[in-house]
Chain A
Amino acid sequence: MQSDAHESDASAEHLMTVCAAGDPAAFRLIYRMFSAAAYGLALRILRDEQLAQDALQEAFAQVWTEASAFDAEVASARSWIMTIVHRRAVDRVRREESDRRRGEAWGVRQIDTAHDSVAEVVELRSEHRRVRAALSALTPLQRQALDLAYMQGLTQAQVARHLGIPLGTAKTRLRDALQRLRLEMEVTA
């Protein structure tokens, strides 16, 4: 019995260290804690259930095999895991896109639809409302750039090309968008 366990033992960060030691039960818990958010993200990016499940599978396999690379000093478990999920999903969306013609053929979606139309099953949790509120504080141009980069998987250079703006402008817009989100979220935290 772990009577002297620390507070952090209760956390996902602790579970990750147990995962890293090869404990399947810890991995199952990690999966249960983050899979809905992960699948939600993959669906938003890939807009296809099968592709999203493939990405989810890859991502969690990576979480399991690379658990020992997790460092709680550097990131939260959620951040570490969602980064992996995002990367796997973006890799896939880029692969899919590279199969088609680039350029005007990008299926451009405005951020409002991007956040509303896929995840019909979205739970309106408090953090979801918080993010939505923060997003609504961005300018339309910032939201558009953020959506193209983060949800549609475009690189900064592709965002610039797509919007017909200089690369430097695209970078600034994305940076400002993220800073603004941070400000908004800190206010509501």
Chain B
Amino acid sequence: MTSGKFDPLSDPHDLVTGYLLDALDAQELERFTTHLAQCPECRQAIGDLSEIVAELASASQVEAPPGFADQLFASVFGEASKEPTAADPVLATVTSLPGRRRWMWPAAAAALFVIGAALVTTMGLNRSTDPPRIAAQAQLAQEVAGADDVHTMNLDLPKGSAQVYISPHMGKAAVMADDLPMPPHGQTYHVWTWMEDGSLASAGSFLPDEQGAASLILKTRLDHATGFAVTVDEPTVVQPTSAPIAVVML
């Protein structure tokens, strides 16, 4: 701290704005952070204004190029990650769950989860016994994927490939997947809609066929959706009980 020397321009209170805008030089910053620790007024001022600055910061949204996220995750988790390496990444994720911190999903929007429960149960029971239903799903999913206004997003699964297709015109979204490993006995893939308020609503569940292929029309409202997550869970869960294996944001 460089206190003691009088400098009319260096009243530390005066540095709040510069601090918020990252517009202090190194000495000013050091002086101000020291000051901040003992000045509730300045802390208050920063608390009041930091959300305004955050809005200023967030005004332009530009998607990072494809592949950037994978690079980031690889470099961030790369050497630090102590995840078990199993032949099957899905199984690795699932089997590692009891040993790790349980993923805490949001519990809001209970009503949506109730709808999800009915749906998941129905689908869980119907899947293997009702091939026409699966065929109908697959056909509808193809139509969504082929729609003129379709938006396609990649679901970054640990194994296999899957895309989310959204057609605003049809008002429908579908997931189509290939080369998916079969989840452990008694479990299925679940798709969850990540809503604007942070809650998750079930959008359906599926099992891949013998070839690892799957199609699902998502049972979801799209107007408040901000993304989708995939988990591997028991068929009857009404909210996820495990960490997502893939997430895609709209």
- Give the total of B residues in contact with A, Cβ under 8 Å: 64
- Determine if A61 and B76 form an interchain contact, defined as CB atoms under 8 angstroms apart: yes
A78 and B103 CA atoms in complex are apart in Å by: 21
User: What 1/0 flags go to B28-53 for Cβ under 8 Å of A?
Assistant: 10000000000000000001111111
Write the nearest CB–CB distance from A99 to chain B, whole angstroms. Answer: 17
Q: A75-B47, A75-B50, A79-B54 are in contact. Are A174 and B61 (CB under 8 A)?
A: no
- Determine if A149 and B21 form an interchain contact, defined as CB atoms under 8 angstroms apart: yes
A105 CB-CB contact with B under 8 Å = no
Inter-chain contacts of B241 with A (CB < 8 A):
1
User: What 1/0 flags go to B70-96 for Cβ under 8 Å of A?
Assistant: 011101110001010000000000000
- Determine if B24 and A21 form an interchain contact, defined as CB atoms under 8 angstroms apart: no
Write the nearest CB–CB distance from A115 to chain B, whole angstroms. Answer: 8
Write the nearest CB–CB distance from B228 to chain A, whole angstroms. Answer: 10
A14 and B101 CA atoms in complex are apart in Å by: 14
- Determine if B247 and A28 form an interchain contact, defined as CB atoms under 8 angstroms apart: yes
A176 and B22 CA atoms in complex are apart in Å by: 16
- Determine if A156 and B104 form an interchain contact, defined as CB atoms under 8 angstroms apart: no
User: What 1/0 flags go to A12-31 for Cβ under 8 Å of B?
Assistant: 10100010011111111101
- Determine if A181 and B108 form an interchain contact, defined as CB atoms under 8 angstroms apart: no
Write the nearest CB–CB distance from A148 to chain B, whole angstroms. Answer: 9
Inter-chain contacts of B111 with A (CB < 8 A):
none
- Determine if A18 and B103 form an interchain contact, defined as CB atoms under 8 angstroms apart: yes
Inter-chain contacts of B103 with A (CB < 8 A):
18, 23, 25-26
Inter-chain contacts of A165 with B (CB < 8 A):
none
User: What 1/0 flags go to A30-54 for Cβ under 8 Å of B?
Assistant: 0111011101110110000100010
Give the contacting residue for B22; candidates A29, A127, A150, A171; CB below 8 A.
Answer: A150
A60 and B76 CA atoms in complex are apart in Å by: 8
Cβ-closest chain A residue relative to B199: A10
- Determine if B63 and A39 form an interchain contact, defined as CB atoms under 8 angstroms apart: yes
- Determine if B107 and A2 form an interchain contact, defined as CB atoms under 8 angstroms apart: yes
Among residues 108 to 129 in chain B, which have CB atoms less than 8 Å away from a CB atom of chain A?
A: 108
A23 and B77 CA atoms in complex are apart in Å by: 10
- Determine if B52 and A181 form an interchain contact, defined as CB atoms under 8 angstroms apart: yes
B69 CB-CB contact with A under 8 Å = yes
A118 and B59 CA atoms in complex are apart in Å by: 13
- Determine if A44 and B60 form an interchain contact, defined as CB atoms under 8 angstroms apart: yes
Given contacts A43-B60, A128-B60, 12 further A-B contacts (CB under 8 A): A18-B101, A22-B101, A24-B77, A27-B73, A29-B247, A37-B61, A57-B68, A64-B76, A90-B22, A115-B60, A122-B61, A156-B17
Give A residues with C-beta under 8 Å from B: 1-7, 9-12, 14, 18, 21-29, 31-33, 35-37, 39-41, 43-44, 49, 53, 56-57, 60-61, 64, 74-76, 78-79, 82-83, 85-87, 90, 115, 118-119, 121-123, 125, 127-128, 130-132, 146, 149-150, 153-157, 159, 167-168, 171, 174-175, 178, 181-182, 185
3 tightest A-B CB contacts, nearest first: A10-B198, A10-B106, A40-B60
| 10 CB < 8 A contacts A-B | A2-B105, A5-B107, A18-B101, A37-B60, A40-B61, A119-B62, A130-B55, A168-B9, A174-B21, A175-B16
Give B residues with C-beta under 8 Å from A: 9, 14, 16-18, 20-25, 28, 47-65, 68-69, 71-73, 75-77, 81, 83, 100-108, 197-199, 226-227, 229, 237, 239, 241, 243-244, 247-249
